[in-house]
Amino acid sequence: MDFSSFLTSLGTSFILFLVLMFLFTWLSRRPGNHPVYYPNRLLKGLDPYEGLRAPRNPFAWIREALSSTEADVIRMSGVDSAVYFVFLSTVLGILVISGVILLPVLLPVSATAHTVIKAAVAAAANSTTSQGSFDDLDKLSMGHIEEASPRLWAFLISTYWVSFVTYYLLWKAYKHVSNLRATALMSPEVRNEQFAVIVRDIPPAPEGQSRKEHVDSYFRAMYPDTFYRSMIVTDNAKVNEIYEELQGYKKKLAHAEAVYALSKTTAKPEGTKPTTKTGFLGLVGQKVDALEYYDKKVKELVPKLEAERKATLKDKQQCAAVIFFNNRVTAASAAQSLHDKTVDAWTVMDSPQPHQIIWSNLPKRFYTRRIRQYTIYFIVFLTIFFYMIPIGFVSALTTLANLEKYLPFLKPIVEQTTIKTVLEAYLPQIALIVFLALLPKFLLFLSKQEGIPSESHAQRAASGKYFYFSVLNVFIGVTIGSTLFTTFKEIEEHPNSIVDLLAKSLPGSATFFLTFVALKFFVGYGIELSRIIPLLVYHLQKKYVCKSENELREAWAPGDLGYATRIPGDMLIVTIVLCYSVIAPLIIPFGIVYFGLGWLVLRNQVLKVYVPKYESYGRTWPHMYIRIMASLMLYQVTMLGYFSAKKFVKGAPLVILLPIFSIIFILVCNEKFYRSFAFTPLDVACRELKETPNMEVIFKSYVPPCLHSDKGDDEDQFEDHALSQVTKTGSAV
């Protein structure tokens, strides 16, 4: 990519962001769009403008974001959102403090270096930042420094500076998030999940005793004063299928009633009854009266659901349970205690929020979960490996030189100046973004197949898989792939040179990643702020699909931040900017703009738009922390390789100390902080509540929706049916 193409990409991305920002200002002022731009506030019964008139200043949202506090974020979107902003602030701080030293020191050192021109032009080209095509950037990078130059000491000291700045700010952030989590957990408010634990791997009940009697007697013996009751987990697949079908017909009936009500006019007060077809998706089959048909289906399914509900509670009990205590200290203590001498019996863990529980995963046995876990890891490894092939191929192919070489019929088109500039600016980045968009749901599906018990845990697991996929396939894959065609023959002729070639291929992709980061923060955050796609979907659904209030409410349901994909995307940028921070310091301002703009835009979205689906009280932070450290260690190893490639014999061995420091830092942080994230500290759980917990309400909150009785006797049903199942032999059930 030449300098004009780079400026074209940067300029058009910036202009597009400004257009989207002004569009956001104009659209968000219109009352009809408030459900798209202020759903969080509307759901909490707050006025979108807090009593002020609609702002006309397109930058007013920036002032509001800057003036908001961490307490505001927690009040509107919970602790998890506040922890995400600690992550953004920490990375932003790392880049700003690092840039204060790196930019004024390294840029002049590189720019004033007198590179010795080698006889072999190809060898010199390999040491540039953009493979010989972006001379202005080359002069500002480490690639402009000759081999074994004393100037490399400045880059070595900078490598240490970035590492120690990262250690310091991560330590402060870990301590701050730990305090945030503790403050939230010691709240005097009654939180249902703090009075329950999940029990898995329940052994078979003794002969003549029901599973519920077995579980109750086991926990009552250990916690005689605080044990309240148990809820045996059941196989809900069949009853849930009927329940979902019933809910579907109820929604269709409500829709038909709304359509019928709207058809009644002054000229035609009797209205027109809607019709439907009885076949597939209502598109084929006999045409019938929709109101009568859906009402008939609802009446048929209600007794069917009730019968299946009773059968499920009586005959489909599983080897897992939810245990309730009337004291949250006891629940916290039980969740972190060893209850049996073997690991595959009476496994107790703290309970997530009721709506987070993945009920179908609770009965999976200990060794089944382990086998599933390692199988999924192997599948993810294969996914990463096979994805690297097409991503590397796309990265190598989507350079214009290779397009002309391998697809010669495109040459007349791509040679046109305008098309060439646009293609060089956007083609590789767009191809990469499309590749990444196909993966997240697949990784979330795999994570749930491991037997993970809660939605938030599954999201964290998927996020980890996506991060390592992004680093290995995007960062390393693109870095290697960008020189794939040009270096293959040299590797074939000189196999021993592969390490040296790979070390030199990293700066060769600097301009690609500069443009990639710019495209992400200007275009990505512009689309995020303007919410063009949700706005179009909402208005189309409102006009053509939604007829009832419930349908309209579902149409503008905003969702949450989407941590499973958002955090790995941010981590990829962290990895890119850290690894290039010393090699090509000019990338640091791009990283600062990415995280600074992201902080502003997402602050606005968290306060006004997104509604969290769950609350894990900051449990995501240790995963964020360890992945920042993984990126830092990759950066340190990269610098070790690059200093070696530069034949910096005196300085390269000193870099070896940095990964050792990082490992020590990880171990110290884990020892000091991690257990308070894995479990609830008893000192936190023992704080006084402002009211006595209503254990009946807490129990009912854990009853799955498909097992809720319309008669309101959930407790009695669970008790009666659970006790009625008595094993005839010791091995039964």
Lowest-pLDDT choice from 164-178, 237-251, 449-463, 635-649: 635-649
Mean pLDDT of the chain: 82
Distance of CA 27 to the CA centre of its chain: 28
Q: Give mean pLDDT, residues 615-643.
A: 91
Whether 550 is covered by a domain: the verdict is yes
Residue 447 near residue 376, CB atoms below 8 Å = yes
Same domain for 552 and 678? Answer: yes
Lowest-pLDDT choice from 342-351, 453-462, 647-656: 647-656
Q: What is the three-state SS of 566-605? A: HHHHHHHHHHHHHHHCCCCCCHHHHHHHHHHHHHHHHHHH
Number of folded domains in the chain?
Answer: 2
**DSSP state letter for 689:** P
Q: Which residues contact 675 (CB under 8 A, 6 or more apart)?
A: none
Same domain for 436 and 570? Answer: yes
Whether 574 is covered by a domain: the verdict is yes
pLDDT of residue 119: 34
Residues 362/366/370/376 CA torsion (nearest 10 deg): -20
Q: Can you tell me which residue has the tokens 């807490």?
A: 698
Same domain for 388 and 285? Answer: no
Handedness of CA 722, 723, 724, 728 (dihedral sign): positive
Same domain for 136 and 245? Answer: no
Same domain for 399 and 481? Answer: yes
Same domain for 82 and 169? Answer: yes
At 560-590, the pLDDT tens digits run 888 888 898 899 899 989 988 888 888 899 8
- Highest mean predicted confidence (pLDDT) among 509-518, 708-717, 723-732: 509-518
Lowest-pLDDT choice from 169-178, 190-199, 414-423: 414-423
At 59-77, the pLDDT tens digits run 788 888 899 999 999 999 9
Structure tokens at 120: 């072999």
Cα 49 to Cα 56: distance, rounded to the nearest angstrom: 12
- 468 burial class (0-12, 13-18, 19+ CB within 10 angstroms)? middle
Bridge partners, 317 (sequence order)? 234
Same domain for 248 and 152? Answer: no
Cα 541 to Cα 720: distance, rounded to the nearest angstrom: 45
pLDDT of residue 716: 60
Whether 472 is covered by a domain: the verdict is yes
Cα 558 to Cα 480: distance, rounded to the nearest angstrom: 39
Amino acid at 322: V
CB atoms within 10 A of CB 519: 21
Residue 110 near residue 144, CB atoms below 8 Å = yes
pLDDT of 603 > 70? The answer is: yes
Same domain for 387 and 448? Answer: yes
Task: Return the higher-pLDDT residue of 623 and 401.
Answer: 623
Whether 344 is covered by a domain: the verdict is no
pLDDT of 121 > 50? The answer is: no
Cα 595 to Cα 524: distance, rounded to the nearest angstrom: 12
The helix (run of H) or strand (run of E) holding residue 227 is: strand 227-234
pLDDT of residue 433: 64
Cα 721 to Cα 537: distance, rounded to the nearest angstrom: 46
Q: Give mean pLDDT, residues 693-719.
A: 79
Whether 447 is covered by a domain: the verdict is yes
Whether 698 is covered by a domain: the verdict is no
Lowest-pLDDT choice from 130-134, 237-241, 264-268, 417-421: 130-134
Q: Give mean pLDDT, residues 28-48.
A: 86
Helices (H), 127-236: 135-138, 152-185, 211-222
Domain final residue, candidates 293, 310, 327: 310
Of 631, 675, 715, the closest CA to residue 95 belongs to 631
pLDDT of 670 > 90? The answer is: yes
Q: Give mean pLDDT, residues 276-296.
A: 81
**Backbone dihedral angles phi then psi of residue 610, each to the nearest 5 degrees:** -75, 140
Residue 577 near residue 627, CB atoms below 8 Å = no
The helix (run of H) or strand (run of E) holding residue 196 is: strand 196-200
Task: Return the higher-pLDDT residue of 83 and 7.
Answer: 83
Same domain for 243 and 182? Answer: no
Q: What is the three-state SS of 228-250? A: EEEEEEECCHHHHHHHHHHHHHH
Confidence of residue 729 (pLDDT cuts 50, 70, 90): very low
For residue 454, what are the CA distances in angstroms to 78, 130, 445, 558, 674?
18, 46, 13, 21, 19
Same domain for 497 and 614? Answer: yes
Handedness of CA 618, 619, 621, 624 (dihedral sign): negative
Cα 155 to Cα 142: distance, rounded to the nearest angstrom: 8
Range of the domain at 299: 239-310
Whether 536 is covered by a domain: the verdict is yes
Lowest-pLDDT choice from 155-169, 509-523, 656-670: 509-523
Amino acid at 722: A
pLDDT of residue 393: 60
- 522 burial class (0-12, 13-18, 19+ CB within 10 angstroms)? buried
Residues 447/452/453/454 CA torsion (nearest 10 deg): -40
Axis crossing angle, helix 510-519 with helix 563-580, rounded to the nearest 10: 140
Percent of the chain with pLDDT over 70: 79
pLDDT of 285 > 90? The answer is: no
pLDDT of 649 > 90? The answer is: no
pLDDT of residue 481: 57
- 2 burial class (0-12, 13-18, 19+ CB within 10 angstroms)? middle
Q: Can you tell me which residue has the tokens 């199942």?
A: 725
Residue 74 near residue 184, CB atoms below 8 Å = yes
Same domain for 287 and 394? Answer: no
pLDDT of 444 > 80? The answer is: yes
pLDDT of 493 > 90? The answer is: no
pLDDT of residue 413: 63
Same domain for 249 and 115? Answer: no
pLDDT of residue 258: 84
Confidence of residue 421 (pLDDT cuts 50, 70, 90): low
- 597 burial class (0-12, 13-18, 19+ CB within 10 angstroms)? buried
pTM of the model: 0.85
Cα 525 to Cα 527: distance, rounded to the nearest angstrom: 5
pLDDT of residue 477: 65
Whether 337 is covered by a domain: the verdict is no
Residue 425 near residue 399, CB atoms below 8 Å = no
